[in-house]
Structures are given as structure tokens and as C-alpha cells.
Amino acid sequence: MADATGLSRRRVDELITKGQIRVNNREAVLGDNVGPTDKVTLGGKIVSTGENKTLLILNKPAGYVSSRNGQGSSTVYDLLPKQYRRLKIVGRLDKDSSGLLLLTDDGALANLLTHPRYSKEKIYSVSLDKFIDKSDIHKIEEGVLLSDGISKFKIERMTSSNQLKVTLREGRNRQIRRTFARVGYKVTSLHRVAIGKYTLDNLAPGEFKKVDVKS
């Protein structure tokens, strides 16, 4: 139900407790199992429980917030047609960052892409405010201590001395920015190009495409 509506599981439980969700014309109860042929309504409106799942790849521009409530700022949902605004974001990007953002109603896929046990690679193009010394690259690849634990990732130089390819298998809040800051560098741009097998290809900033969940 949470996947189908975009609501949190806690909120769904509250609605069930309040009798606002019905299954086959009876009030739902916590723990109900619902299949594709069951009729589910929320506030009198039918909720689709079919097996067809949606996955979007969005090229997020910088300046957009990866949430439903932008608190005065534009959100990534402003870039999508109404029928896709129920989808959940997989792997957020901070407001100042750009690039690949996944949105889906497939809870299993979202878990596969974000849970630490699956260690999905995330690849970023990162620009710094100055040339980074080899010794500092080595420090980061060995691991530096942040307030929420050790952070380390792979770094490759690109064509520009200040542009790097960063590959990591975590996804903590502003991890890349905080890690470079810890050794004395400021990230001036951060652009994600891949999560696992999903890539931006030729999507322009603000554009999205629908992809096969099974592909």
C-alpha cells in the first residue's frame, strides 16, 4: 500500500487504524495481504495494486530539492507529470547537486538499490576548488573520519586537474562533500552519472525517461 500511494508505512498504518482504507468493501486491518485482483480504496478512491511497476530516470538540475516539500524551493516533482508524482525517490541528491535520480513505486527495487548489503556502485563527476594532491587522494581511499563514521571511496582524475570521477558504494548525507572538506577541499560541482546499471545516457537537465524495471 505504501508503494502504491507514495505514503510512508507509518502513515498507511495510521489510515488503516482510522478505517480510511478498505479492501473489497470492508475496512482493512493491519497485516492484510492484498493481491492484484483485490479492490483497495483510500478515502473512497481506488488504489491500484497491480504488478506493473514504474521506474523513472531523471536528470536532476542543480537547485531542485529531492523531496515533496521544497519549503519554498522547487522540487524534482515539479519536473514530472502529475501521474508520476506519487513515485518515491531512490538515492537522494542534495539541492546543489545534479544528475541521475531514480523514482519508483517498486519497493523491492528501491531496497536493492539503496540497502548497504547490496553495495550498488554510484558514480559521480566531481569538481573541486583546487588541484588535489595525490596524498589526499590516498587519504580518502584509505578512509577519513567523519562525524558519522569512516568515509572512503575510489577517485580517478579526469581531463581537468580539478575534475574527478568518484565511485562509492554508500550514500550518506552529503558524504562526498563532507569527505573532501575533511581534507581541505571544497566541491564546486557534483553530478551523478550512474547508480548500479542505470545511467543518464543523453538525458538533458530536467528531462526524464521511463525504463523497464526488469531491464
Helix (H), strand (E), coil (C) string for 2-35? HHHHCCCHHHHHHHHHCCCEEECCEECCCCCCCC
Check 3, 13, 38, 94 and give the catalytic one.
94
Catalytic (active site) residue 94: yes
Of residues 10, 7, 4, 82, the one with CA closest to residue 38: 4
Measured from the Cβ of residue 4, the count of other Cβ atoms closer than 10 Å reads 17
Nearby residues of 112 by Cβ (< 8 Å), 6 or more positions away: 118, 120
Report which of 87, 52, 126, 74 is spatially closest to residue 208, judged by C-alpha positions.
Answer: 87
Q: Which residues are catalytic?
A: 94
